[in-house]
Structure 1
């Protein structure tokens, strides 16, 4: 997670790190997508409850999206047939 973590309460940081780890440890594309969706719901919940600013929500969502995209690319390369 980026340096904007300083803006976030410790409880949010801990949960965000757990979700990030779940994305990064996903063993299948389905699990990675599910973890990415969970991350999206987490950020939306924080934003709707005004627990974090809109800017912080956008940066957190971007971190999750990038991590999910990287993981999906890794998994798709693994799943590609080797010729």
Structure 2
């Protein structure tokens, strides 16, 4: 899938994949933004709890941001 996701511990990787899938499934801009915000909170929680390093958190957050931006671009032109 992605080196950022693949390098995570199994339980964290599974949840990250679920969050990415939610972003990809978002049927509106509001839902895409909401899903992106949930992903951001997930990353911040992991970093604060010591589940991942700050560097991993930054990389994961960037990946979620890019995915959200891409979904918003798709939705803005009216594609499903």
TM-score normalized with structure 1 length: 0.89
Q: Structure 1: any 5+ residue segments left out of the alignment? A: none
Structure 1 partner of 2:26: 26
CA distance in 1, matches of 2:73, 2:6: 30
2:41 is aligned with 1:16 = no
Q: Secondary structure at the match of 1:78?
A: coil
Structure possessing the higher radius of gyration over alpha carbons: 1
Matches within 5 A, 1:62-81: 62-78=62-78
TM-score normalized with structure 2 length: 0.92
Deviations 1:59-82 (A, max 9, x none): 100110000000001101118xxx
Q: 1:58 to 1:18 in 2, by over 3 A?
A: same
CA distance in 2, matches of 1:9, 1:52: 9
